[in-house]
Each structure stands twice: as structure tokens, then as C-alpha cells.
Amino acid sequence: MEDAICPLDYRYGRKKMKAVFSESGRIGYQMAVEAALARAHASIGTISAADAEEIARASSLEAVKISRIKEIERETNHDLMAMVKAISEQCAGGAGRYVHLGATSNDIVDTATALQIKAAMEIILDDVDSLLRTLAALAERERDTLQIGRTHAQFAIPITFGFKIAGYIAEMLRHRERILQIMPRACAGKMAGAVGTGAALGKEFPRIQIEVMRGLGLTYEPAATQVVGRDRYTELVCLLANVATSLERYGTEVRNLQRSEIAEVSEPFDASRQVGSSTMAQKRNPISSENVTGLARVLRGFVQPTFENQVLWHERDLSNSSAERFTLPHAFVILDDMLHKMDAVFSGLEVHADRMRANIDSAKGLIMAEPVMMRLAEKGMGRQAAHEILREASMRAIAEGSDLRSALLERREVTDAMTAEELDEAMDPAGYVGRSREIVDKMVESAAEAVGRRDSG
């Protein structure tokens, strides 16, 4: 790989996903489609069962060498036809004459792509389930860990860190549902000939198409052109980009919370040997979260060409082909890599509860303005009047560098309405996290149910 250009070849991506979209993987899936086509013909009597099984035997990388396919391709300048000829050469008897019978190239290519998508989506689903388990364990562990909620990058009101993670669980559960919903639409092949009418397959064309897809575990395009409708790929890549953007959101949060002036969490770091900087020896950088952020930007870049690939001339042109050789494999390999990295980040995330509490205390009670306002409203004061009192007291505390409690105790309207003890109770951060803990419990349970259904079924 010393001459490799694409970072997926030497830096990013995992072997299992890369294998799905490797050259041998692609050809292997295409051969599986040729075998399924032969068996479908045999099922309706177009060819003999013996010929079909001989084609199926020859349609494998054990029987056909990739080097031979490439040799033929150099002569024909057609990669799919080169594979067909190579299979035919390996068929004993007269079976070779039935290879690719009634099909056009994209019957094989698009159906093989559907098999790749199916295999890739199963890997992505495994990744999502693993991340959900990790998030659920983290949310449960940090269920009661107090933290400041932030809006506009400013202190808001208290939450728990487990509650923050519960929101990520909810989001990933939605993505999981989207993945399951899209699979029948994305994993669709075709066996309908040159323009989708099935003319070359004869009167039994509908049965042949159904048998091929049944044998491969795919759905099929009911009214194809020469290709499967590219709206399917548009929906798919948009979903992959959506999941990637969620991961970027989580990574961005980790990066922000690891800032020196916040310091509430830290990515895993091997202090015994890991290097954070080539010159600043003290550095512990959130490199995985930053990596995920950058990869998400690349993945979203595949959305535009995927939309453009949807627009083909008449029953089909070739303008989509070269672009799709980049978009689909890269999108899947990158997302798989991102999911794996984000899982590792949350698996080893260091949560600094003491720093979270220190940041709460640094607010000098200002983050508790809302609960005091609500308590005054409960005492009979108008909500707007209570809001103005808290606003004035907060602005004064900020201007003077004092705490909100002191500013409130100087207000007659407040001391007439509640005792100092009641004020202290209202200003206790631990008592103002709403239903955070219940929400955590619910999302942990939902994650377990979703993942458990797949594990058991």
C-alpha cells in the first residue's frame, strides 16, 4: 500500500466493511447473482438443473481467477462481460452458453450492489447496537451525576450527565429504526433486461425476477429502467449522512467538554505511552472526536453526487457509474469507522463529576433563577413579576460579582414570600433536574429492548 492515494487504503476503515466493497467482494457478489439467475432459469425449465448447478459452481472466485477477468477486460473494455466470459470458460459441457441468459449488465451490477448494501447495513446495524449498549451503560452509570446544562454556550439550568447521554440514546434509536425501515427499499435488485421490460427473459420474466431475488434475499424494482431507481440510493446515502452528523454532534460535545476551561470529560488516553503533541508534552487532545468530526464532513459530501446520480437520460446512461464507485463504498466504510471510534470514546470516557460540581458552584447560584421564580409563582406572585425580580437580582449579582442568593435576600418581595430555608431548598441544584433520572431509566430500557430483540431473533 506504499503507493496508495486514498486514506481508506492505509488509514481509515475496518477490514470487515472494506471486504464488502473490495474488488474481490464486488466480483463475488456479481457471481452470486449469475448463479441465482441460472437457478431461476432451471426452476422454470429454461435450462436444466444440471447446467444451472454447473454455472453456479463456476460462478465463484475459486473457479475463476480475477487475473483472468482482467485479461479479458483488457480485450473487451467491459468489466461485466469479462466476468461472464471467464465464468463461461470454466463451465463443463455446454452449460457455459447459458451464463447471463436474458440479462443485461446492470441486472447483475445493481443486484450485486443490493447484496453489498445488505451486508454493509448489517454491519452498520451491529455498530449501532454496540454503541447503544455503550451509551446505555454510560447513562446508567452517570444517571445522578449533576452537570450544568448549557444553551447558547452559556450556563442554563442543572441536568445530569446521564440525561445528556439519554438524549444520544434516543437519537440513535431513531437511526436504528430508520435503518430497519430503509433496508427493503435499499436492498433491491432487478432482473428485467435492457430497458426493464424483461423482453429477453421471455414470458416467464416475472417469475425469473422473483426467483432470483428470493434466492438472494432481496426485494426487486417493480418497474425498472435499465437500472434500479436511484432514489433508493439517495435515501440511503442521506441516512448514512444523518447518522454521521449525529456522531459528529456527540464528538463535538466531547471536544467542548474537554476544553481546559470546562474539563468535565476526557477521551480515553494511555498516559503511559500515548503522545498528545510533538512539542507540548502535557497535551491530551480529543483526537478521536476530532477525527469523527472531519469524517462526517467528508461523508456528507457524498450526498450531492448521489442526488445528481438520480438524474439519468431516458432509460439509463453511464454518468452515475463512475461516481457510485466512490460514493457508496466510501460512505459505508467511513460511517463504520466513525461508529467504531465513537463507541470507543464513550466506552472509555472519563467523567469528572468533581469538575462538573465545581462549574455549578462557579455560577454563584445564577443557574437557579428559574426554580426560585417558579417557587415565587407557587406562593401567589405573578409569573411575570417573579421573572422581573429574578432578572433584576441576577443582573445586580453579575455586576457586583456576588451570588444570587445574597441579592435575593435583599429583596423584600422575596423575603416576604419565602423563608431563607425555603430559598435554599429552591436553589439546590440536585433538586431541580426534573425527571432527568426517569428519562435515563426509560432510554436505557428502550435501548436494551431494541438490541435484545435483534440478539434473540
Q: Exposed, middle or buried by CB within 10 Å (0-12, 13-18, 19+), for 4? A: exposed
The answer to whether 118 and 183 have CB atoms below 8 angstroms apart is yes
63 three-class SS: coil
Burial 225-235, CB ≥16 within 10 A → b, else e: bbbbbbebbbb
In the chain, what is the greatest distance between 2 CA atoms, to the nearest angstrom? 103
Number of CB atoms found within 10 A of residue 222's CB: 12
Residue at grid coordinates 510533538: 278
Instruction: Please identify every residue annotated as catalytic.
Output: 152, 277
Show Cβ contacts of residue 351 under 8 Å, excluding neighbours closer than 6 positions: 142, 145, 161, 264, 265
Closest-CA residue to 130 (of 97, 166, 172): 172
Burial 130-148, CB ≥16 within 10 A → b, else e: ebbbbbbebbbebbebbbb
First-to-last alpha carbon distance for the chain, in angstroms, is: 40
Query: In one letter, which amino acid is 387?
Result: H
Q: CA–CA distance from 135 to each of 124, 298, 443, 446 (Å)?
A: 16, 25, 10, 12
**What secondary structure letter does DSSP report for 262?**
T
